[in-house]
Structure 1
């Protein structure tokens, strides 16, 4: 955007919410620009289906994916290696840190697993290592396996789908070894272990918490024995002084990580062990004061690092700076080119990294640098706690702020160009950077780096959103907004962009009521700063309209969308994809307002534009096809809608994968057309699959789950199974009222459908109050002449018929018939339904002569439309 401040990404724009309507159809916006729902992504170009995992054969030669080579100086663990082999042979084994060893680790769990995997790699067709310290890391590691086995997966599959495909591959092929390193919580891998049966799983963890319940055994690793610790020190140092080595090993608690770093120092400097021991006890770096006394592992590493830092600082101040920067990042491999962005010459950075590696402070590969999380924690203790404990020491604060600012600038320089939401080719790079951006955000105070951090967070949030991690994206956008408002003032255009993007995350999370005020404020800022006819104003207007429609206020949305369309048509080519977005979103509001005849031509024009701009197999084409199908169905032309929706389903599955939320919407909308065509038995399995997808993707309490539940219940009603429908509708009602409020039109839909189930169950007396409430909500929200009011009146009248009150039913049915004819036309199939129901009341009142012509007209309408 123009103006002062950073070049912010424009609003990701046009988020989608499940749309309400007479039959709870869910519609999508945003054709051509943004795919919606959790784990959403956009793909351009030729689409390559992933295919079945079983069809991808075992790699030859074997695929071995280990993070690094094992260390050569590995002593004192022969017994553990033998036991580990026995555990893995049984199926799934765990290497856990004993509860007697405190702190972040350093006991050698990962190295033990690495030694085993490397030694036995030729016994397996596949050996794959996954950093498993959280669900997202596990998903990323499995996705990377899919990308290695099936290179096309990187192009067409986002991480959740690719990870699922990898699990499918492991299920279809036997004999592999999967290492899940550094598992933090048992529940993070519980489900995965239940899915994997024909290979071997090795878990390492610091948490010794009942692993025997879900694995074949647990090997608890202690620190080394004194004899093994002495042997390791002697071997690493090259000094045959076992007596001093024994004292030194005791000082370091026989912790393998501390012993390795001490040995690396002794070897590098050729310092006699006795002199090193005296310096170690002196704590020259002053680190022990920032480490809790009870954390033995942390203190042991702090002692070693204190001496090592003094030595490294004498050789290379750059090396010390690099280590401090690494302490601000995640304990994941850091791309070396990120460190090259620290305003230092690349050769100087390489030299500093070499010094750190020579002292065993980091693991260095050609592409990455990695610090053990325990070393990192000790360094971070010193950098951050020193400042916290001495807030009045400006030098300490300046040093911390300088390190954080430099780290943020380096990450900002390393992010890929382009919109991560639309360019899957950037995702591998983002996947490498995102953990480090999240880590530096956690330790960076509000007053450090300012706009640079906000820009970095905004860009990273777009990637998180593309991967369906909406809560992460929301948190990053909210922090970015706080920073930008403080740095640029509340009326800056970049603040408006961030407000609109934050509102988009709220919509994705099913919270449109919270999105609306942010979008209204963004609109005021954008209009004031850029003028009323700027394209950014069009985006914000349309996004605000989307929130209003999700809140059941489509009448307020329509004028905003018409203005948005006018602005974008004047600013851009009439065949631009952004014009199609505005057309499609306006059409959705017209559908919602019961005016599908006005929506249809807009959607056909949008479809023409999108197909020409993006090609016939783009997912945005599928969305437009599906929305056009909804209009056709609302016009009583469900037979025309079905083939469009089947084509939409084919396109969207190929583009986004079988488990994407947009696939669920398309499945459900196709099922709605099948219901309309009298084929509920075909609709039911589609709706069950849609419900499974959306619950997994969005959580059990999202409004979209309620839509799926309600529509599935409708099929069960049609199939004569109201007892199964009722609990689904009650759950849908609870979700919808909690998410959208008691007076939302979707609440009325669910109330009315629940009443029908109760009626079919012979409980007509319970239905009337539900239907009267539904009618009141619908009239208040949509107006007295909306077609949905006609539906509510008609259903209430049927209940009154059941209750033996046909005279009351007649009046409601006549009003319902008038509304339906005016809104949908005299030849709409819903008119035939109203005519037949009115005729039933007349016959109950003994007025058969009046009923007969109504029924005859209903038969003529249905015959003309070829409806049985």
Structure 2
């Protein structure tokens, strides 16, 4: 009832990358680095005290802040009454109205009320998780030291918020209520939450809403006068009207007037002289964007005269995520002058600047991307998208994405900007440099267990690469392989298979039949075949892959260890367990020598070796190996990573084999929770967790609880993998056993007959799993009084088991003991 993690890929060649579901490890680029993370427990969220004072406000509040006193008071009253408020706006789609500024004013003015004030840009689930993870790192630096994955750290932060009252959380620019409903449900009532959003949707039942419209005419005039120090009421009224009373546009106009030391009248004249085409490309219905476009053109002309590089920088910034753009990434454009150019942009209120990062309003970004401005003098060869591509690529760490854990914080910072850039770039505009950037970003998301995020980037990378270099280029094979491995991880192995077959053909044709990359393609294709129940077809591919790797790389290369372990897994699946053992022992030795004893890959080797020992009846030797594997995996990858669920599940199986069933139950319950959260409720791996948990409940004489879990598991498996997959046979067999225990023997019989047919067809008539099916079916026939039919089935089962597993294997002994003599 257990499942071995499927075989994973390897990467080979300069800058190549592959992803998979077993090793989770790929060496990419030159000189990969490895780190060893020490073991040790992490403090629980309720054990970490509320800080005396902590906040991460994005900037100081704007001064002056006019026209919002009543709304600010209403916000305070709403929070006092309901804990959660949504700052929205009366006009659907309007940006720049001052929602974030209102929240910032409240947070800054009430710092003394809260010991923790935390600001998160929550326009996407990934950014929400990143903001929560950063909170966790600030509250519990140990999480940062062990490089806990984003999802794990975010979960820790939510648990901390649940455990402590008296905090303020600002969720800025929420685009989809569904993205934050779970968070609100878990932390509601413990602190205060402010949500800002452009979405004109119902928040009933979740929060009290406050609509925020544009400023009144009087407030807009007052703001202009405060910003500029000018007393020109007539010009101020006309200018405010021209800018639609929009706070963002007024603020930028005021910054320009103050910077240039001109009158409001002079600025109004400049604004009116701007030709219509300066903002003609902005949607006619988007008045906020049109207002900013007018200001933008006037301001940009002035900026270009003072510092041409600043214009290019602003255009570059418009293709990134709006917040936390690393200054060091931009500095690479022109190390001697970027800081000066950023200062100019900040002086005109076009950006917000901190020591380490740059932020820009989304509306400004949208307007900047809409307009096409020639590159500034001295940079005529540069166009903003090309500059962004180069800057992001240069900013990415050079270490192995999956093994250089110390690089993960940098990837977390860069990935939102790569994702934003991908959304702004069409496939027609992209080239192979874009594809490489998107592919590496996807690979990092894959390491975080975020396969659904990786998938669209990998699909785009493949499309772009095929167009750029042709359909038969070796790089296309890498893209196909990585996409296939992500599909595999998402439970879509049947879609992965033709991609891997094509990748193998391309690689063999381009590089030759004995190239190490051919071994990678063979091994990954074999893993998918095994996942599809076609282990017999997988075996010769893996044997050939191992031969190629040893000849090309040497007997002690880490890639050889992967090949050995994967080959052993297929032998295990084919019932040739004794042959698998020495291969896994050798793989463990190679991996520990190459990567260190505490590397996540060593944990995989330990766990797989332990499962083979257990299958050979040596569960006592397996147990300490699996306990150590679990510790390594939790320390390196975080407590909620899907690989931790694999370790928990397999450790539980060994505990059960040792007669310690009660200890196995909580491990399997935790494994199920992790898997459902990480992969979704309908993933075939969830079916495995459900089936194994049900088996433990059955062993604890709780068959009634087991039944519903097994029924759900079977439904998931048949839907995801098909009704004739060997895993479906396992589900049918286990469900039949529970029905038998509940006295529903007649219902069990057709399930077991079907399970036997599936297993024989998929795995062959002499596979040891066939012996299990035959023996179980015979037991049901005995119970139904059909002894004459049962005996020959058991005799055949015994013959198969003795041949495949040996006369003294526990399975053989069980079958032999059931025969009537």
TM-score by length of 2: 0.92
Q: 1:129 aligns with which of 112, 119, 143?
A: 119
**Equivalent of residue 378 in structure 1, options 362, 367, 382:** 367
For residues 812-837 of structure 1, the C-alpha deviation after alignment (integer angstroms, 9 at most, x for no partner) is 11101111111111112222221232
| 8 A contact 2:465–2:476 mirrored in 1 | yes
Unaligned runs of 5+ in 2: 1-11
SS at match of 1:152: helix
**Deviation digits for residues 507-564 of structure 1 (CA, Å, limit 9, x no counterpart):** 1111122222222222222233333333222222211111111111111222222222
Q: Which residue in 2 is equivalent to 1:258? A: 249
C-alpha displacement of 1:696: 0.5
d(CA) in 1 for partners of 2:192 and 2:82?
Answer: 5
Q: 1:728 aligns with which of 702, 709, 721?
A: 709
Could you tell me whether the CA contact under 8 Å between 2:24 and 2:402 is conserved in 1? no
Answer whether contact 1:48 1:152 (CA < 8 A) is retained: no
Q: Identify the range of structure 1 (68-77 vs 81-90) with the bigger mean alpha-carbon deviation.
A: 81-90
For the pair 1:547 / 2:528, whether they are aligned, the reply is yes
Match of 2:15 among 9, 12, 19: 9
Give how far 1:49 is off: 3.8
State the match for 1:22 in structure 2: none
1:199 aligned onto 2:194: no
* 2:165 match: secondary structure: coil
Measure the CA separation in 2 of the matches of 1:499 and 1:401.
Answer: 32
1:655-690 CA-to-partner distances (Å, cap 9, x unmatched) read 322222112112222222233344433333222221
1:751 equivalenced with 2:732 (yes/no): yes
Alpha-carbon shift at residue 153 of structure 1 (Å) = 1.6
Matched residue, 2:679: 698
Deviations 1:14-61 (A, max 9, x none): x23xxxxxxxxxxxx4387599xxxxx99634345432223333435x
Aligned counterpart in structure 2 of residue 142 of structure 1, from 127, 132, 140: 132
Counterpart of 1:356 in structure 2 is 345
Query: Which has the larger displacement, 624-633 or 650-659?
Result: 650-659
Whole-Å separation in 2 of the counterparts to 1:42 and 1:558: 31
Shift of 1:64: 2.1
Give the 3 Å change call, closer, same or farther, for CA 483–793 of structure 1 in structure 2: same
Mapped partners of 1:103, 1:772: distance in 2: 60
Shift, 1:91, TM fit: 6.0
Deviation of 1:174 after TM superposition, in Å, equals 3.0
TM-score (structure 1 length as normaliser): 0.87
Residues 1:399 and 1:724: Cα distance change in structure 2 (over 3 Å): farther
Matches within 5 A, 1:757-776: 757-776=738-757
**Does the 8 A contact of 2:25 with 2:403 survive in 1?**
no
Q: Tell me how far apart the structure 1 counterparts of residues 495 and 266 of structure 2 sit (CA, whole Å).
A: 64
Cα RMSD, aligned residues only: 2.7
2:238 paired residue number: 247
Task: State the match for 1:271 in structure 2.
Answer: 262
Question: 1: CA distance between counterparts of 2:656 and 2:213?
Answer: 63
**What are the Cα deviations for residues 319-358 of structure 1, in whole angstroms up to 9, with x where unaligned?**
332222222222223223333344xx33443333333222
Which secondary structure state, in structure 2, belongs to the residue aligned with residue 420 of structure 1? Answer: coil
Residue 290 of structure 2 is matched in structure 1 by 299
C-alpha change, 1:32 and 1:459, in structure 2 (3 Å) is closer
How many residues of Structure 1 are paired with residues of Structure 2 in the alignment?
Answer: 802
Output the CA distance in 1 between the equivalents of 2:40 and 2:625: 21
Moved more, 169-178 or 744-753: 169-178
**CA offset at residue 90 of structure 1?**
4.3
SS at match of 2:371: helix
Query: For residue 87 of structure 1, what is the aligned residue in structure 2?
Result: 78
Structure 1 distance, partners of 2:407, 2:448, is 12
- Give the C-alpha shift of residue 400 in structure 1: 12
- Residue equivalent to 1:46: 38
SS at match of 2:436: helix
3-state SS of the aligned residue for 1:697? helix
Distance 1:400 1:442 in 2: 24
Distance 1:724 1:711 in 2: 13
* Secondary structure in structure 1 of the residue aligned to 2:85: strand
Supply the distance in 2 between the matched residues of 1:294 and 1:400 (Cα, whole angstroms): 35
- Out of 601, 605, 629, which is 2:582 matched to? 601
Are residues 1:614 and 2:595 paired?
Answer: yes
Residues in 1 aligned to 2:763 and 2:14: alpha-carbon distance in whole angstroms: 38
Paired position in structure 2 for 1:66: 57
Query: Aligned partners of 2:527 and 2:48: how far apart in 1?
Result: 42
Aligned equivalents of 1:454, 1:206: Cα separation in 2: 32
Q: Which residue of 2 aligns with 1:785?
A: 766
Aligned to 2:7: none
Query: Per-residue deviation at 1:401?
Result: 9.2
1:113 corresponds to which residue? 103
Residue 630 of structure 1 is matched in structure 2 by: 611
Q: Which has the higher contact order (CA 8 A, sep 6+)?
A: 1
Distance in 1 of aligned mates of 2:542 and 2:658: 32
Q: Tell me the secondary structure at the aligned position of residue 286 of structure 1.
A: helix
Q: CA deviation at 1:780?
A: 1.2
1:461-860 pair list within 5 angstroms: 461-839=442-820, 851=821
Q: Is residue 23 of structure 2 the alignment partner of residue 30 of structure 1?
A: yes
The residue that corresponds to 2:3 in the other structure is none
Instruction: Describe the SS at the equivalent of 1:96.
Output: strand
Give the whole-Å Cα distance in 1 for the aligned partners of 2:782 and 2:196: 67
How far 1:612 sits from its partner (Å)? 3.1
Whole-Å separation in 2 of the counterparts to 1:662 and 1:638 = 21
Q: Greater shift after overlay, 719-728 or 178-187?
A: 719-728
- Gaps of at least 5 residues in structure 1 are 1-5, 17-28, 36-40, 388-397, 840-850, 852-868
- Per the alignment, residue 334 of structure 1 pairs with 325
TM-superposed deviation, 1:787: 0.5
Distance 1:9 1:495 in 2: 13
Inter-partner Cα distance in structure 2 for 1:133 and 1:181: 7
Deviations 1:707-733 (A, max 9, x none): 111112222333333332222222212
Partner of 1:848: none
Inter-partner Cα distance in structure 2 for 1:828 and 1:413 = 57
Q: Is residue 17–residue 482 contact of structure 2 (8 Å, CA) maintained in 1?
A: yes
Spell out, residue by residue over 1:614-649, the C-alpha distance to the aligned partner (whole angstroms, 9 max, x if none): 333333222222212211222223333233323322
Tell me which residue corresponds to 1:210.
202
Structure 1 residues 738, 550: CA separation in 2 closer, same or farther (over 3 Å shift)? same
- Residues 97 and 105, structure 1, Cα contact 8 Å, conserved in 2: no
Aligned to 1:170: 161
| SS of residue in 2 equivalent to 1:636 | coil
Whole-Å separation in 1 of the counterparts to 2:552 and 2:301 = 62
2:335 matched to which residue of 1?
Answer: 346
SS in 2 for 1:201: strand
Tell whether the 8 Å contact from 1:95 to 1:109 is kept in structure 2 after alignment.
no
How far apart, CA to CA, are the structure 2 residues paired with 1:750 and 1:618?
34
Alpha-carbon deviations, 1:383-405, whole Å to 9, x = none?
4xx99xxxxxxxxxx99993322
Partner of residue 6, structure 2: none
For 1:95 and 1:731, how far apart are their aligned partners in 2? Answer: 39
Q: What secondary structure does 2:67 align onto?
A: coil
Q: Which residue of 2 aligns with 1:847?
A: none
Secondary structure at the residue paired with 1:717? helix
CA gap 1:115/1:237 in 2 versus in 1, 3 angstroms: same
User: CA, structure 1 residues 55+659, in 2 after alignment: closer, same or farther (shift >3 Å)?
Assistant: same
Distance in 2, matches of 1:666 and 1:588, equals 16
